[in-house]
Amino acid sequence: MMNKKTLIIGAGGVGNVVAFKCAMNSKIFGDIILASRTKSKCDIIAQNIKEQTGIIMQTVQVDADSIPKLKELISNTSASIVINVALPYQDLTIMDACIHMGVDYLDTANYEHPDTAKFEYREQWERDEEFRKADIMALLGSGFDPGVTNVFCAYAQKHYFDEIHSIDILDCNAGDHGYPFATNFNPEINLREVSAKGRYWQDGKWIETAPMEIKMVWDYPEIGPKDSYLLYHEEMESLVKYIKGLNKIRFFMTFGQSYLDHMRCLKNVGMLGIKPIKHKGQEIIPMELLSTLLPDPASLGPRTKGKTNIGIFAKGIKDGKPKTIYIYQISDHEKCYEEVLSQAVSYTTGVPAMIGAKLMLEGIWSGKGVFNMELFDPDPFMEELTIQGLPWKVMELGANEDLVVPEERV
């Protein structure tokens, strides 16, 4: 049998975790090649992995905006799979290169055009036919959210419900990095997401809200009550399509007051703009400048303390009776750093990316075309989560119980 070759594109916080975790499962991933725009970042990751695991990986420079360059890279490396953990802007070029070269593809975030802060699967789903024709598979959104949250929904549907009526996806990061303002993953992608209008789905239609208009206080196990704001998040688009009986889905993320105050000021002075402006005769994009000024998310690892808790809260019907469950995963920033030199936000994204790719290489999740996570049997993925460092829990609640704290109790 030919040795497998795994090509990872992107050497940021998430790329670091994927590279570490693939090296820790090197029997499955075979030879690992780490490619990114800045080769020196790949070299640092490869050196750390060599010291910690003894695994040696090849590093390569690539411009993932260029399909010819990507084709050349895939051809030179004879990759069996491409794990895309660069930025969402590169999804389509990498997918197209995979189609041309007949190689399986996986990512963790849906395509975004650099000039429009709009998240949708349309252009990636439209490539389904081409993936089928090329006899290859694309797995979309194999991070935590999207990713594990989709798998949690599929698991709830398979084991706990005949019909799920409502889902709240709850994303809590109670970590503290000590900076007045920093983002836990790529600043540009993060700020575009949280400054956009909110949206949720109810009774067959999308309902739009102003950014951060809806706040609820959820009581997160092992963390406590936290202000949580309704955002639009990409996994809702596929869950609405694939979870039967669903009539409401919302997504909440926690934010502290300091983060929100900074965001408001930056927005008011135009620093979140994504259109070029003229500055001393030069064109600059305010959001890109801000991204350069903010701490590199990869540098937050050694300073971040505290926990994350991400899960799904689902209500529905089983055997004719109402049922409520909460499936969640708690990670500790310092423990993640100890293991792979990254904080929990990168860890909880990188581990599921590795697991998705592992199941594809093993043929446990297989198919031809473009797939979202909830289309596959959730059980093998759930098992791997526990084995690979993301153990989860299920809490069964009374039909009318929930974890929402009335504000006066906080």
- Where along the sequence are the contacts to ligand NDP (CB under 6 A)? 10-15, 36-38, 41, 62-65, 85-88, 90, 108-109, 143-147, 185-186, 189, 297-298, 349
- Quote the least distance from Cβ 407 to ligand NDP, whole Å: 28
Between 286 and 297, CB nearer to ligand NDP: 297
Dihedrals φ, ψ of 403, to 5°?
-110, 15
- Quote the least distance from Cβ 149 to ligand NDP, whole Å: 8
- Quote the least distance from Cβ 94 to ligand NDP, whole Å: 9
Say how far apart CA 305 and CA 171 lie, in whole Å. 17
C-alpha distances out from residue 92 to 50, 98, 127, 137, 268, Å: 32, 10, 9, 14, 33
C-alpha distances out from residue 21 to 28, 170, 247, Å: 11, 25, 37
Between 87 and 314, CB nearer to ligand NDP: 87
Which helix or strand (DSSP H or E) is residue 242 part of? helix 235-242
- Quote the least distance from Cβ 23 to ligand NDP, whole Å: 17
Between 226 and 233, CB nearer to ligand NDP: 233
Strand partners, 208: 199
- Quote the least distance from Cβ 348 to ligand NDP, whole Å: 7
Question: Can you state the angle between helices 333-340 and 13-24, rounded to 10 degrees?
Answer: 60
Tell me the residue number closest to ligand NDP, measured at CB.
Answer: 12
User: Under 8 Å CB-to-CB from 217, ≥6 apart: which residues?
Assistant: 225, 226, 227, 228, 404, 405, 406, 407, 410
DSSP 3-state of 38? coil
Q: Which residue has the tokens 């090849």?
A: 58
Burial tier of 136 (Cβ tally within 10 Å: 0-12, 13-18, 19+): buried
Between 25 and 186, CB nearer to ligand NDP: 186
- Quote the least distance from Cβ 349 to ligand NDP, whole Å: 4
- Quote the least distance from Cβ 268 to ligand NDP, whole Å: 25
Strand pairing category for 5-9 and 31-36: parallel
